[in-house]
């Protein structure tokens, strides 16, 4: 019977195994690995163990459902290795959410394992951009423009003011100012998300009206991934 203590033991054993798999070559490197393991790896493991405990506490009534479940065992191992490599606490939290959702959500097992591997593959910025594309974010106008565009304040139909077109990169730079000097990085990230089937194609050379440019672009697979790793993702 798999219990909470067993799950934590699997996580700890996986961490020790991952650290032990690092080849030790040379005295300086050996010293570095020893110090890094003591300072960094131990800290990450403690943070990860705390997250696992918090997630398991939320599903006490369902712990019997994962008894002798080899699939969940694989999820614990895969998520733990990824969490150990993550240097950002926010990314560890995404792995914890994924581990919780690996048996809470009704998704194919193959899809769940792919999603856990994608958390490991993506940078935090990549996931933030995906989250940005997962909902409509129509441009906002000042009150005078809104009143001229929609004189009836009780009218719930969205109206817009035509401010011309903009290039797709404009939206990402508005949302992530750090990309102003890295437009190629932004385009590379979106291309990666498209190749993985999470967003629709974006033609960065083709200007669009703001309403079209800032619309929801995630696919069904992308929406499933967003749900799998948690709703409150990487809040800015």
- Is the predicted pLDDT of residue 44 greater than 70, yes or no? yes
Positive/negative CA dihedral, 25, 28, 33, 34: positive
Structural domain boundaries of the chain?
Answer: 4-107, 128-229
Nearest one of 178, 219, 167 to 198, comparing CA atoms: 219
d(CA 145, CA 148): 5
pTM (two decimals):
0.76
pLDDT digits (tens, 9 = 90+) for 191-205: 999 999 999 999 999
pLDDT digits (tens, 9 = 90+) for 128-187: 999 999 999 987 654 444 444 444 444 443 334 445 899 999 999 999 999 999 999 999
Q: What confidence score (pLDDT) does residue 60 get?
A: 65
């Amino acid at each position: 019977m798999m219990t909470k203590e067993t799950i934590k033991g699997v996580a700890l054993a996986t961490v020790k195994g991952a650290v032990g798999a690092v080849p030790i070559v040379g005295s300086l490197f050996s010293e570095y690995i020893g110090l890094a393991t003591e300072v960094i790896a131990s800290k990450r493991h403690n943070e990860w163990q705390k997250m696992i405990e918090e997630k398991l506490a939320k599903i006490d009534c369902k712990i019997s459902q994962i008894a002798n479940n080899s699939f969940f065992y694989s999820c614990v191992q895969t998520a733990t290795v990824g969490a150990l490599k993550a240097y950002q606490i926010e990314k560890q939290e995404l792995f914890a959410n994924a581990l919780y959702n690996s048996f809470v959500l009704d998704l194919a097992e193959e899809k769940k394992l792919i999603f856990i591997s994608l958390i490991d593959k993506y940078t935090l910025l990549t996931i933030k951009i995906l989250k940005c594309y997962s909902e409509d974010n129509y441009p906002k106008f000042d009150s005078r423009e809104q009143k001229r565009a929609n004189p009836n304040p009780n009218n719930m139909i969205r109206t817009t003011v035509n401010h011309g077109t903009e290039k797709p990169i404009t939206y990402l730079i508005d949302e992530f100012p750090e990309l102003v000097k890295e437009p190629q990085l932004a385009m590379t990230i979106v291309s990666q998300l498209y190749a993985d089937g999470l967003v629709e194609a974006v033609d960065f050379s083709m200007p669009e009206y703001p309403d079209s440019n800032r619309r929801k672009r995630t696919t069904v697979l992308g929406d499933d991934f967003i749900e799998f790793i948690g709703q409150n993702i990487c809040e800015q």
